[in-house]
Structure 1
Amino acid sequence: MNKANAQVSDNLISRINDHYSSMSKGQKRLADYCMEHYEKAAFMTAAELGRQAEVSESTAVRFAALLGYSGFPEFHDNLEEMVRMKLNSIQRMEVTYGRIPREKILDTVLRHDENNIRMTLEQTDKKAFQMAVDDILQARTIYVVGIRSCAPLAEFLSFYLKQIFPDVRLVSTNNASEIFEQMIRISEKDVVIGISFPRYSMRTLKAMEFANNRNARVITITDSVHSPMNLYSSCNLIARSDMASIVDSLVAPLSVINALIVALCMRRQKEVVYTLKTMEQLWKEYQVYTGDEINRLDDKVSL
């Protein structure tokens, strides 16, 4: 856990300990539940937390106020940060099983993704987004780093950046040494985009540290201002990612990446149009989108 996460954890625990003696019986049950089952409490609403502690929703809200928070959402955010770096894959699965009835999996997951996008929109730093666009436009070389579940995001982003810029490098990350070998020439003229969500990748973090030490501009796409990814970045793009599942929710991060690509395309319209015209000719000449697709004319299937 980095320093920021440790401070959030210590602050929450200290508040509970400091006020415990003056709490009502119901509030003590809430405090006990939060400390014993923090990995589940972090993903509950006030009503859900109240039911688990056998108190009312209003008691849960007053409990957050007693601890000095402006409201239950602030308390909830601090509790979530407390567990963000602590849950392993098995614990994440257990939390999911405790939250989602099997018959409501589809509805619940889609609503969580919808909520992640809404919260991302509400919390987006528009200045940071514009700064990221400007930094990328001014870069000589653009490096994109994302591994494990974030690898598809990194590949998607680099695919479209290559249609806009002449020098884009998707950093492959089979091992730590390969990362540094591929980034050995990075300098203050370049930019690196690092993508990581809980559980955060140490290799991606080391790549950001390496780029920062070389005075390159560092852009991160991550889930929180408390993310360790932000230790070395000059520009942070925050996208909500519900981590209470063995499957990472990357819907909101992908939306942020889409917005970034669109913004860059609008700033480089001439280059993009030229590239697309050239590629359309190549696709037609080499039958990229004809010869390798199924043709169902005359009820015949051919490749």
Structure 2
Amino acid sequence: MRTKIARDSLAARRTDTNATLSTINDRIKSNLPLMSDGQASLGRYILDHLQEVAFMSAADLAVQAGVSEPTVIRFARALGYSGYQDLRKEVQRFLRLYLGPGDKIRGFLTLTQDHKAILDKVFDIQETLLRETRSLLSHEAFWCAVEAICKARCVFLFGQGAGVILPEMLNFRLQRCGYHTYTITSGGRDIFEKLHLITEKDAVVAFTFFQTDEDAVIVLDHARSAGAKT
């Protein structure tokens, strides 16, 4: 049953990914015949460089595409977005769901041809992602999570692959503050040995990158069925 739920969730995410990409491509392609030469040229550039556009400012995109910055803003609004930032967020959403780490690194290095500018670009990207995260995180959700952890009998921390460092770091901090914790950082037997320990008095924190993997879905599904906070 849990495996089926995991498959259904992952399938829904893949459908969402395809819809996002289709929306971006369809919006641009269907509007190209109605646009001025400058906007049409910009549209073709974006279609060919989606990965790079995700991290460009309106000014950077204007330079790369050979148009003016006002043309970039008018282009985004012509597609139905509130502005260029709105368009770029949809491109970033596609990248998070669709591209793997290797694809992203290759795209970043292609965009940053001046090696001396790599450090600045890295910080620019992280600042953009932090601002986006802040805009999506509500105070209510944050304090609900804090309260759940503070009141929990035990805090279970899940993460795998590149995400292992996050539960390990939080585990270290929570234990220093006197909290009882378990980490779930391996697959298979490690997961099922610890799942049966979860009760309604516990909290479960799961760390995943971009797409929720099957093991994370299984852990969260079991935690909710046990009445734990997630």
Give the TM interval when normalised to the shorter protein.
0.7 to 0.9
1:193 pairs with 2:205: yes
Deviations 1:225-262 (A, max 9, x none): xxxxxxxxxxxxxxxxxxxxxxxxxxxxxxxxxxxxxx
For residue 15 of structure 1, what is the aligned residue in structure 2?
Answer: 27
Q: Secondary structure at the match of 1:217?
A: coil
Q: Is the 8 A contact 2:155 2:181 kept in 1?
A: yes
Separation in 1, partners of 2:46, 2:127: 27
Deviations 1:71-103 (A, max 9, x none): 111111011112222222332121121233212
Q: Is the 8 A contact 2:17 2:98 kept in 1?
A: no
- The Cα of 1:127 is off from its aligned counterpart by 1.2
Deviations 1:132-171 (A, max 9, x none): 1111122222101122222122111011212334421111
- The Cα of 1:44 is off from its aligned counterpart by 1.6
| Structure 1 residues 91 and 217: CA distance shift in structure 2, 3 A | same
1:125 pairs with 2:133: no
1:81 pairs with 2:130: no
For residue 48 of structure 1, what is the aligned residue in structure 2?
Answer: 60
What is the number of equivalent residue pairs in this alignment?
Answer: 217
User: Hey, which of these two has a bigger chunk of helix by percent?
Assistant: 2
Q: Is the 8 A contact 1:144 1:171 kept in 2?
A: yes
| Structure 1 residues 207 and 132: CA distance shift in structure 2, 3 A | same
Separation in 2, partners of 1:3, 1:139: 36
| Stretch of structure 1 that moved more, 126-135 or 99-108 | 99-108
| Paired amino acid for 2:70 | S
- The Cα of 1:131 is off from its aligned counterpart by 0.6
Give the counterpart of 2:110 among 98, 111, 126: 98
Q: Is the 8 A contact 1:26 1:53 kept in 2?
A: no
Structure 1: any 5+ residue segments left out of the alignment? Answer: 219-303
Q: Percent identity?
A: 29
Pairwise CA RMSD of aligned residues? 2.4
| Paired amino acid for 2:156 | Y
Q: Secondary structure at the match of 2:98?
A: coil
Separation in 1, partners of 2:222, 2:133: 28
| Structure 1 residues 30 and 203: CA distance shift in structure 2, 3 A | farther
Q: Is the 8 A contact 2:155 2:179 kept in 1?
A: no
Q: Secondary structure at the match of 1:197?
A: coil
| Structure 1 residues 39 and 105: CA distance shift in structure 2, 3 A | closer
Separation in 1, partners of 2:127, 2:49: 26
Separation in 2, partners of 1:109, 1:17: 31
